């Protein structure tokens, strides 16, 4: 009878345990979990704090008792594995409830220790009003503190998933919330231009943003905490949550002499095997290959952890399953807004040395004539020569999850960006458009591939010549133009363009813009047919204005020391 010991539960470890039992009814399976909960919903923790989830038992997906009843798996919570003895195939274990220590033997060992919150060595890091949020116990500590002390303000250090979700939930409790973040944007999976829409939503709902500020420490003051900032006045709050990222929990693997990868993560092959053939590892602790670039990556998400647990279980039981890499597909709710990303963003494409292009569009979430439609902002990246799909980001209010999943599937399937135009997608007026948003992105990229459109970009705005050597043309209505425009651009509405061609000097390149990119595309085609060289702005003035306004607010806040 084979004996499998699993270190860690939650996503990867619990999934592996259940899968092993389904494949081998006779295996002896022992799971050691350091916390008091073997399988719980990490992603739901902020929503319990905000009372969206009001039953603490709802966070617990399985208990040791329920797991044993269904799968006959020996689950031991509050047990910490402290060492791996590869020579004799045992692990040292401490019962955290009693202090008892013992060794447990294994035939196969699976490591699923997850990741731990980054806690830099800063003054005041151990104050009782400074929290981290990673486990159910962390959640209960924060919730109990809120219920007992009724804090009126919070500072969240970090701008990732946990911080952004927690900001929404603390605001729902009536607290004043400030997010402080060293980069000048929230949510690193998104490019700064797309993050601008997240910033606007956060500000709209009263979240203060201190972007570009570095936290230097914490100090108790006036019954609360001062968050000390580099080159800026402190931020004062009744509680602080550190959410500045996670690092792989790989100390056991390191001490056992297993090979490590980037950021100290556990090195595994595509079968989830470590450098010891009898030890597997899965989840937030391991290094993976990025599915788009093939390069080493550390991607801490629940979806990959679950898949890896299943793959490791298959192989422990004699199968041959392979992990194909992580794409980093993710989605976030921020108040009324939904934001999602998959694959590479521009920063990732640049770091990978890829020669890429992009389209940015603002389609409606469903047919425009059907009531209730709302704009999406979509950004799709592709490789220039091959038109290989590299990544996508979408922000909006309806349908974001649907469209990002289509694009994630297209990337996984190896479709070219030009193939998006051919996808046969479901349509009815309440749900989408006959030309679905993903199709529209494909049409735009196909036009680029066929040489029908050349683009110019946000990063070109400040460098475009204003000396008359090029024509800068805004094709919106006079009313739209009067509401704001890019300096140097003259206004000729697209519907008047054919009658006013004599106002555009031949022989000069024409840079065209409109509100969303559609009318300027039509204008570009009119001009191209008449012999002009044209460049269409990808994204439109709506996109430009949102990003420019956000950039100005961030700079103003940095200059003043705080964004309010």
Instruction: State the residue for tokens 């830099």.
Output: 120
Which of 43, 317, 514, 560 is an active site residue? 43
Q: Is 370 helix (H, G, I), strand (E, B) or coil?
A: coil
Strands 330-334 and 337-343: antiparallel
Which run of H or E residues covers position 334? strand 330-334
**Token pair for 387:** 């038109």
CA distance 294 to 320: 21
| Active site annotation includes 43 | yes
Total Cβ atoms within 10 A of residue 421: 17
CA distance 43 to 45: 6
- Are 29 and 20 in contact by the 8 Å Cβ rule? The answer is yes
- Are 393 and 194 in contact by the 8 Å Cβ rule? The answer is yes
Q: Is 181 helix (H, G, I), strand (E, B) or coil?
A: strand
Across the beta sheet with 90-95, the strand order is 79-85, 90-95, 101-105
Q: Is 243 helix (H, G, I), strand (E, B) or coil?
A: coil
Count of alpha carbons within 13 angstroms of residue 80, beta-carbon side: 12
**Token pair for 194:** 């797309």
Chain-centroid distance, C-alpha 299: 10
DSSP line for 507-549: TS-EEEE-SSSHHHHHHHHHHHHTT--EEEESSHHHHHHHHHH
Count of alpha carbons within 13 angstroms of residue 358, beta-carbon side: 26
- Residues with a catalytic annotation lie at 43
């Amino acid at each position: 009878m084979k004996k499998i010991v699993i270190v860690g539960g939650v996503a990867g470890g619990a999934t592996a345990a259940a899968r092993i039992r389904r494949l081998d009814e006779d295996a002896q399976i022992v799971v050691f979990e350091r916390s008091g909960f073997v399988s719980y919903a990490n992603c739901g923790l902020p929503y319990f704090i905000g009372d969206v989830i009001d039953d603490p038992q709802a966070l617990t997906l399985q208990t040791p008792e329920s797991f044993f009843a269904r799968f006959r798996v020996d689950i031991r919570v509050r047990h910490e594995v402290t060492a791996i003895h590869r020579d004799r195939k045992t692990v040292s274990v401490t019962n955290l409830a009693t202090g008892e220590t013992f060794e447990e033997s294994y035939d196969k060992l699976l490591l699923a220790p997850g990741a731990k919150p980054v806690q830099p060595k800063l003054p005041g890091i151990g104050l009782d009003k400074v929290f981290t949020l990673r486990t159910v116990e962390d959640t209960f500590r924060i919730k109990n503190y809120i219920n007992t002390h009724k804090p009126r303000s919070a500072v969240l250090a970090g701008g990732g998933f946990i911080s952004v979700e927690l900001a929404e939930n603390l605001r729902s409790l009536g607290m004043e919330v400030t997010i402080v973040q060293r980069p000048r944007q929230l949510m690193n999976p998104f490019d700064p231009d797309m993050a601008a829409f997240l910033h606007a939503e956060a500000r709209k709902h009263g979240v203060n943003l201190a972007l570009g500020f570095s936290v230097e420490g914490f100090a108790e003051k006036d019954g609360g905490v001062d968050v000390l900032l580099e080159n800026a006045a402190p931020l004062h709050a009744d509680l602080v949550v550190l959410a500045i990222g996670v690092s792989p929990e790989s100390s056991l693997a390191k001490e056992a002499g297993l090979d490590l990868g980037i950021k100290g993560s556990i090195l595994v092959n595509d079968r989830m095997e470590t450098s010891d053939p009898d030890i597997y590892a899965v989840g937030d602790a391991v290094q993976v290959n990025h599915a788009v670039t093939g390069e080493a990556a550390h991607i801490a998400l629940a979806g990959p952890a679950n898949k890896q647990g299943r793959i490791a279980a298959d192989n422990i039981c004699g199968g041959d399953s392979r992990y194909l890499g992580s794409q980093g597909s993710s989605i976030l709710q921020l108040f009324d807004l939904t934001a999602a990303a998959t694959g590479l963003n521009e920063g990732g494409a640049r770091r990978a040395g890829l020669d890429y292009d992009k389209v940015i569009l603002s389609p409606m979430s469903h047919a425009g004539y059907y009531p209730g439609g709302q704009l999406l902002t979509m950004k799709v990246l592709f490789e220039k020569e091959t038109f290989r799909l590299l990544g996508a980001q979408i922000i909006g209010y309806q349908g974001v999850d649907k469209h990002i999943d289509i694009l994630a599937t297209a990337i996984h399937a190896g479709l070219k960006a030009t193939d998006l135009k051919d996808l046969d997608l479901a349509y009815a007026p309440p749900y989408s458009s006959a030309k679905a948003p993903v199709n529209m992105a494909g049409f735009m990229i196909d036009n680029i591939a066929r040489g029908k459109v050349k683009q110019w970009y946000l990063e070109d705005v400040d460098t475009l010549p204003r000396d008359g050597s090029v024509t800068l043309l805004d094709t919106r209505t006079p009313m739209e133009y009067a509401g704001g425009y890019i300096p140097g651009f003259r206004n000729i509405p697209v519907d008047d363009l054919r009658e006013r061609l004599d106002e555009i000097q031949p022989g000069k390149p024409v840079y065209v813009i409109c509100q969303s990119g559609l009318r300027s595309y039509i204008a570009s085609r009119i001009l191209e047919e008449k012999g002009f060289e044209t460049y269409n702005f990808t994204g439109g003035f709506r996109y430009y204005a949102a990003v420019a306004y956000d950039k100005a607010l961030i700079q103003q806040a940095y200059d003043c020391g705080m964004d309010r």
